[in-house]
Amino acid sequence: MKKSLSVILIYTLVLFLSETAYRAAYGIAADISGYPRILAYTCALCAAFYFARYTFSRLLIFVFFAIAAVGNNIHYEIYKTWLTAVNAYLALIEFGEVRTAGADMTGRLAVHVLWGAAECALFCTLALWNKKRGGRPAADILFFAALAVSAAMAARTKDTRSISPKAKYARIEAAYLSLGGVFGKVLPTYLFGRSRIPAYLHPAPQKTGAPQIRNIVFLVGESESARHLGHFGYPKDTTPRLSAFAKEHPDAWIAEAYSAGLMTRVALPMLFNAVPRPNGFMQISRGDTSLMRLAKEQGYTNHFHSAQAEGEMRIMNLLGMKWIDRLTYSGSFGFGAEESMPDKNLVKQLKETDRAQGRHFIVLHQRGSHMPYGKLLEPQEQVFGTASQTDKYDNTVRQTDTVRDEILQHLQSTGGSDWIFIYTSDHGQLVNDKDAAAGVWHEDVYTVPLMVYTPDSALQAQVRQTFSACRRNHHYQLSAWIIGLLGYSYPAAPCLPAYVTGNILSGDAGYMEIDANGNRKMIGN
């Protein structure tokens, strides 16, 4: 027993020194008062791994340690927090997207991954000191019991530690809380609709007459922050065509807006179902205010063309898929199921759509500024170079400017005034010389561009009257206005408060309320 205790204490000390060195090297909060908890959690996990009777238990404990070491290192480098329960869950269900986004950050993350991997290799050798395992599986039972306790703590509505583990927590402690949050809070919310946020419900609107326009073309951007548009004052000329269009058509509505959420899987379901605040699960499931459903019932042919890979568009059922007449992904252009395509192909799809007869609601969904930035651009499209993440991101904003303008030129060339063009992005990203991140509470992430234009002068005057009444527009305001455009009676959205939902659609990962004075209040985070 003395030998066992000595081995456990030595490994604990080495791993403790490794974590404190990592914190010191990357400026992660830690003080002397936090050292005992790092030692305690490290020692407890080493003991559990050492004494575990069953190989299966050891395997799970090792996976847990890998999440604590490698997972936390990666997450902190990107988001400046330890791994959260929500992001742990999203990393599992959207592994392909995470892998794609991480490919462009290999150099940035390499040291952090290697540091964690070295710790994992060391931790694994602990098993070599206790090859003869017998007796009762006390360590196995205690490990799983501890996870159950963590899940039970997370299930309590007032416990928010798994949503945002503090930097002072030991990495093992943060992983313990986050995994507890996955099983105690996140999974019950997703699988069973268990949420602490009251449900938002709204009845189906009533028809008032015919739609106001025959053709609606809705370009949905991806990850484009309004803070990177030259038209809004960004130093680089990322939007020369948008600025030129604004001069030529001063009545066009072009403004900044608050997005409905921090991530695509949250923002787009809320936007396409006119959900102003969390929790909109039931409202979206019912489809009473689905833009696709309402358009379909007014005789529109609904088109949804996405430049993204089909494997990354698992939210389509939340966007009214059953009311979409023609749905295409990148695979329609010969790309693989997990391979997205350049946005310029969306222009081709629009040109191939016969809009001469009937009503058409056409959604063109971009790959846009999604990570890895500029992967789908041609060399000549990388006008700002590729020296930094910011340059790469700005190239994608410039490309969206080109795609948007080509769509407008095509619509104008067809003649007539029976069309309206709408553009907004699902959310933005935080991109500068130090950071490149999505899904974080930063104004760059939830401030997006909004554009609405039609050659129908009377309708365009209505557009300006509606949106100019607010100091800052928001996604719900756009959704509510589109419902009216489709020929339904629906209350006008108030300018403010506006709500930005975090990384869970129900709002259980927190959401933000922005009042008329621009004051921001975090709720449930």
Res 259: pLDDT: 98
Give dist(CA 38, CA 269) in Å, integer: 41
- Structure tokens belonging to residue 121: 């290799």
Is pLDDT larger for residue 69 or for residue 27? 69
- Residues ≥6 apart with Cβ < 8 Å to 29: 23, 166, 167, 168
Q: What is the pLDDT of residues 352-405, one digit of tens each?
A: 999 989 999 999 999 999 999 999 999 999 999 999 999 999 999 999 999 999
- At residue 81, the pLDDT reads 82
3-state secondary structure of 6: helix
How far, in Å, CA of 277 to CA of 261, rounded?
A: 9
What is the overall mean pLDDT for the chain?
Answer: 92
In eight-state DSSP terms, residue 258 is E
Helix (H) or strand (E) holding 227: none
Question: Quick one: 418 exposed, middle or buried, by C-beta within 10 A (0-12, 13-18, 19+)?
Answer: middle
Which phi and psi angles does 255 have, rounded to 5°? -155, 170
What is the tens place of the pLDDT at every residue in 300-345?
Answer: 999 999 999 988 898 999 999 999 999 999 999 999 878 999 999 9
Every domain of the chain and the residues it spans: 2-192, 212-495
Reported in sequence order, the residue ranges of 356-514 that DSSP labels E, i.e. its strands, are 359-365, 419-425, 430-431, 436-437, 447-453, 473-474, 488-489, 498-501, 511-514
Percentage of the chain exceeding pLDDT 70:
94
> Percent helix, strand and coil across the chain, each rounded to 5?
50, 15, 35
Q: Give the least confident one: 63-72, 86-95, 168-177, 276-285.
A: 86-95
pLDDT of residue 460: 98
Least confident of 125-134, 287-296, 358-367: 125-134
DSSP secondary structure of 387-406: SSHHHHHHHHHHHHHHHHHH
Quote the pLDDT of residue 189: 74
- Kindly state the average pLDDT of the residues 69-93: 85
Query: Rounded distance, CA 268 to CA 240, Å?
Result: 27
Prediction pTM value: 0.80
Structure tokens that stand for 252 in this block: 């066009």
Question: Considering Cα of 451, then 489, then 426, then 379, what sign does the dihedral take?
Answer: negative
Whether the predicted pLDDT of 475 surpasses 60: yes
- pLDDT for residue 59 is more than 80: yes
CA distances in angstroms from 134 to 4, 144, 214, listed in the order given: 14, 18, 75
* Nearest alpha carbon to residue 101 among 109, 16, 395: 109
Mean pLDDT of 20-34: 82
What is Dmax (Cα atoms) for the chain?
A: 88
d(CA 141, CA 198): 37
d(CA 98, CA 501): 21
The answer to whether 276 and 495 are in contact (CB under 8 A) is no
Asked whether the predicted pLDDT for residue 96 surpasses 90, the reply is no
Per-residue pLDDT at 193:
66
Predicted local confidence at residue 160, as pLDDT = 60
Is residue 467 scored above 80 in pLDDT?
yes
Residue with tokens 């693989």: 336
Does the pLDDT value for residue 158 go beyond 60? no
Q: Give the per-residue pLDDT at 201.
A: 95
Whole-number pLDDT of residue 162 = 63
- CA separation for the pair 149, 48 (Å, rounded): 16
Mean pLDDT of 52-79: 93
Question: Going by C-beta distance under 8 Å and a sequence separation of 6 or more, which residues neighbour residue 278?
Answer: 197, 200, 499, 501, 505, 506, 507, 508, 511
Give CA 103 to chain center in angstroms.
17
pLDDT of residue 37: 86
Give the pair of three-digit tokens for residue 267.
């923002």
**Tokens in use for 484?**
């009216």
Q: Work out the angle at residue 368's Cα, subtended by the Cα atoms of residues 364 and 369, and round it to the nearest 5 degrees.
A: 155
Q: What is the DSSP letter of 331?
A: G
Q: What is the pLDDT of residue 104?
A: 63
Q: 175-220: per-residue pLDDT in tens?
A: 999 999 889 888 887 677 677 899 999 999 999 999 999 999 999 9
Which strand (E) or helix (H) includes residue 303? strand 300-306
pLDDT digits (tens, 9 = 90+) for 235-263: 999 999 999 999 999 999 999 999 999 99
Distance CA 144, CA 282 (A): 34
Q: In the prediction, which pLDDT does 31 show?
A: 65
Give the contacts of 139 (CB within 8 A, at least 6 positions apart).
47, 48, 50, 51, 52, 53, 57
Dihedral (CA of 298, 303, 308, 309) sign: positive
Fold classification of 212-495 (topology level):
Alkaline Phosphatase, subunit A (3.40.720)
Phi-psi map region of 448: left, alpha, beta (phi>0 left; psi -120 to 50 alpha): beta
Q: Is a pLDDT exceeding 80 seen at residue 440?
A: yes
